[in-house]
């Protein structure tokens, strides 16, 4: 196994591990926390269930982006990194990161509107802002890689036509 193959296998393992951890939190962790909080605050229990719906909606673009990253690593493994399909995968990652950032922004604005003055939300707001910044950094990085890869594919196709 070459160094490149080993690093892509490692990254694929990391992607799978992240996917399993997030799935565990979505299926076990968040529902347990929501039911415990709903028992403590029965007057606002309906908000816990809306929170769970919101978390599952957030998971959709996250898992699409993870799948596209896994596909991109697979293209690298089979020496198809400079292809239209790789560009497409980066485009999907970019869009998913932007959607994720926008959904987190929507969620934090909604939480501030619902709980303004009732709760100390400083920590939650900071975590949300860090998540938004991280999502848009990933989107920007994917966009830059997409443009670079597009130029490389264009150069490769020009060279293939010349030869």
Count of helices and strands (H, E) across the chain: 5, 0
- CA gap 61, 131 in Å, rounded: 14
Give me the number of domains the chain comprises.
1
Q: pLDDT in tens for each of the 163 residues of the chain?
A: 555 678 889 999 999 999 999 999 999 988 888 888 778 877 777 788 888 899 999 999 999 999 999 999 999 988 888 889 999 999 999 999 999 999 999 999 988 888 777 777 888 889 999 999 999 999 999 999 999 999 998 888 877 766 5
- Eight-class DSSP state of 27: I
Domain containing residue 95:
3-162
CA atoms in the 13 A half-sphere facing the CB of 98: 11
Look at the chain and count its residues: 163
Nearest Cα to 52, choosing from 28, 70, 72, 76? 28
């Amino acid at each position: 196994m070459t160094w490149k193959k080993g690093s892509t296998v490692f990254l694929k393992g990391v992607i799978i591990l992240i996917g399993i951890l997030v799935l565990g939190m979505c299926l076990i962790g968040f529902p347990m926390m929501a039911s415990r909080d709903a028992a403590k605050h029965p007057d606002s229990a309906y908000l816990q269930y809306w929170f769970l719906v919101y978390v599952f909606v957030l998971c959709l673009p996250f898992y699409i982006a993870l799948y596209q990253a896994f596909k991109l690593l697979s293209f690298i493994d089979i020496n198809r990194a400079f292809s239209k399909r790789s560009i497409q995968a980066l485009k999907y990652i970019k869009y998913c990161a932007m959607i994720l950032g926008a959904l987190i922004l929507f969620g934090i604005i909604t939480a501030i509107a619902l709980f303004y003055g009732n709760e100390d939300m400083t920590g939650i707001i900071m975590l949300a802002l860090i998540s938004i910044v991280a999502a848009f950094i990933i989107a920007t990085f994917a966009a830059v890689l997409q443009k670079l890869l597009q130029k490389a594919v264009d150069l490769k196709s020009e060279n293939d036509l010349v030869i």
